[in-house]
Structure 1
Amino acid sequence: MSQDSTQQFAPPATRLPRGSCDTHAHVFGPYDQFPLADPRPYTPAPAPKEQYFAMLDAMGFDHGVLVHGGAHGWDQRAMLDAIASAPDRLKGVGVLSADADVTELKRLDKAGVRGLRFTEVAGPNAAQDFAGRVGLKALHRLAPGMRQLGWHAVIWANASVFESETDTLRQLGLPIVIDHLGYFDVSKGVDDAAFQAVLALVADGAAWIKLTAFRNSKRQPELDDVRPFHQALVSANPERLLWGSDWPFLGMNTWRPDPAGLLNLLNQWVDDDAVRQRVLVTNPAALYGFE
């Protein structure tokens, strides 16, 4: 399932249902038009909107959701420019500082943004204060304005964060979207308390979750160590599941997936057509407001 993002994209083995949506991808550049922030947490290869649309077309996605990439700092123009190119096809998830007012939220809402992302994931850059990175403290300050617009909060955090913050997140009065399958520790198994906290949020409808399996796996490219967690989430509540490619696969240096391979894996792991229809079409349409 390895592929360079500058090459032609091969389609998945099975045609996607009409109205399918990739709910997680990023665009970067072109850098003479949309420069990277300095300093920044990483330096991505250019992934302009033309490549992104080529990926969507090759996979058969009618819709897509772009998540603002942190390497652009507070500058969200690359994402907003792509959305403006196809406003009926795309929506966005942005970032704002904790002191942003409702006027700024409304400006982004008009531009197609439907939520904000908050990052609490542990890692080598976790303690650094990069432009464009906000944590859960900002979410509490921004939540009233987000509720006013019907937005949701996307949270990129380790599973242990959802365990410790469960009660607080449930009281926000906002739809919560958990990034990257909850970013659990696969070595601890499905009975681990942190994963069980993620599972409970999804099971009772308090949170949505993106079925992006590869970042959790210690067995790439097979990814079979993630399958029990994936199955637990599918069994818990199909009405709160989303699918995202995570293209262009930031930080995947020794092995990089390709979108078609990940879709083929979804078809293997979810062999129920009705569930796949819900994951790829019905759920994202409900959350993001696609026709």
Structure 2
Amino acid sequence: MSEISPNCPPPVDNPKRPGLALPAFSCDSHCHVFGPSDIFPFAPERTFTPVDVPRQRLRRLHDFLGFDRAVIVQSACHGTDHAALLDALETSGGRYRGVALVTPTTNPDEIARLDAAGVCGARLNFLPHLGGAPSKETMDAVLRLVRPYGWHISVHVAGTGITDYADFIRTIDVPVVIDHMARVDVRDGLDTEHVASLLALLDTGNVWVKLSGVDRLSARSEGPYESAVVLAALLARHAPDRVVWGTDFPHPNITGSAPDDGVLVDLIAEIAPDEGLRHKLLVTNPAELFRFRQA
């Protein structure tokens, strides 16, 4: 793919200021940087082209919303070229951590370089538009590369994926993080096989879940997000020590308009109405999982 014209909607330029005051050292546990493409080109083989969202814009958003920390997830549009991610990490003063895209051909020296820069996890994408499920051989090879560094494995599934790959997830011997609440179909309600699979995985003690992407789980990207928020609240109650929260800014690969990040922050009060649970969700849990200094 050679064209540069974006085919993803842009993020909201002027999000609302959240009414919810976040605790100090709160972490946005899932966000991205894109480009700028004239400095950090997108991968030729990418399946989508986002608008440029450089680290400066991400930093402004976090300052506005009240996040002192964040985890930047390498996007498939940049492939395995981590230059934009590394630039964001190296200029953050320790404020940011990263999640990489690793393949069996990734050089071990590159893993060491990423680790030293603040990367603490590798993402496995199981979605067709991001290349489809990796083979077991690929997943085993990635695990061999990152296991010595104690990285977590981030699992990106949707629909029936959390049930389809539950047995494999149980075999992973490093911490596992399920992105976006496994993107289960909340239109079917919460009493489903796939929600049950997610809850059972949380019960293993080795699996964490990101309470992010409520717009992705909802029938309408612009809201309301009630069903997805109810699921997030259920997961927070079920495993209060293994949940984290993220904006998913700037919301790539969605249908319709991007959600307002200020609105998403205010929904945290519904997901975690208790102040102690919010502190775990935003501060304590991400500090443990992503290797931030405990506040």
Same fold (TM over 0.5): yes
- Look up the match of 1:281: 283
Whether contact under 8 Å (2:73, 2:98) holds in the other structure is yes
- Look up the match of 1:148: 148
- Look up the match of 1:243: 245
CA distance in 1, matches of 2:275, 2:282: 10
Deviates more, 1:57-66 or 1:192-201: 192-201
CA distance in 2, matches of 1:72, 1:60: 27
Q: Closer, same or farther in 2 for the Cα pair 1:9/1:137, shift >3 Å? A: farther
Whether contact under 8 Å (1:13, 1:264) holds in the other structure is yes
- Look up the match of 1:269: 271
> Secondary structure at 1:225's aligned position in 2?
helix
- Look up the match of 1:215: 216
Deviates more, 1:52-61 or 1:199-208: 199-208
CA distance in 1, matches of 2:154, 2:136: 10
1:47 aligns with 2:53: yes
- Measure how far apart 1:259 and its partner are: 1.6
Q: Unmatched 5+ residue regions in structure 1?
A: none
- Look up the match of 1:91: 97
1:76 aligns with 2:79: no
- Measure how far apart 1:6 and its partner are: 6.8
Q: Closer, same or farther in 2 for the Cα pair 1:121/1:253, shift >3 Å? A: closer
- Look up the match of 2:41: 35
Using the size of structure 2 for normalisation, the TM-score is 0.89
Q: Closer, same or farther in 2 for the Cα pair 1:211/1:279, shift >3 Å? A: same
CA distance in 2, matches of 1:101, 1:170: 27
1:192 aligns with 2:192: yes
> Secondary structure at 2:160's aligned position in 1?
helix
- Look up the match of 1:11: 17
State the Cα deviation string for residues 75-104 of structure 1 (Å, max 9, x = none): 111111011001410000011112324322
* Counterpart mapping for 1:157-196 below 5 A: 157-196=157-196
CA distance in 1, matches of 2:137, 2:260: 35
Q: Closer, same or farther in 2 for the Cα pair 1:257/1:136, shift >3 Å? A: farther
- Measure how far apart 1:267 and its partner are: 0.9
Whether contact under 8 Å (1:166, 1:197) holds in the other structure is yes
Whether contact under 8 Å (2:229, 2:267) holds in the other structure is no
Q: Closer, same or farther in 2 for the Cα pair 1:159/1:7, shift >3 Å? A: closer
* Counterpart mapping for 1:196-207 below 5 A: 196-207=196-207
- Look up the match of 1:65: 71
State the Cα deviation string for residues 234-288 of structure 1 (Å, max 9, x = none): 2211111010100001133523212211010111232110000000000000011
- Measure how far apart 1:193 and its partner are: 1.1
CA distance in 1, matches of 2:137, 2:261: 33
Q: Runs in 1 of length 4+ with deviation above 6 angstroms?
A: none
Whether contact under 8 Å (1:59, 1:260) holds in the other structure is yes
CA distance in 1, matches of 2:206, 2:50: 33
- Measure how far apart 1:136 and its partner are: 5.7
Q: Closer, same or farther in 2 for the Cα pair 1:163/1:6, shift >3 Å? A: closer
> Secondary structure at 2:177's aligned position in 1?
strand
> Secondary structure at 1:226's aligned position in 2?
helix
Identity %: 32
Using the size of structure 1 for normalisation, the TM-score is 0.91
> Secondary structure at 1:93's aligned position in 2?
strand
CA distance in 1, matches of 2:170, 2:194: 16
Amino acid at match of 1:86: S
Amino acid at match of 1:13: G
- Measure how far apart 1:138 and its partner are: 2.3
Whether contact under 8 Å (2:29, 2:247) holds in the other structure is yes
Whether contact under 8 Å (1:87, 1:112) holds in the other structure is no
> Secondary structure at 2:258's aligned position in 1?
coil
- Measure how far apart 1:154 and its partner are: 0.5
CA RMSD of aligned residues (A): 2.0
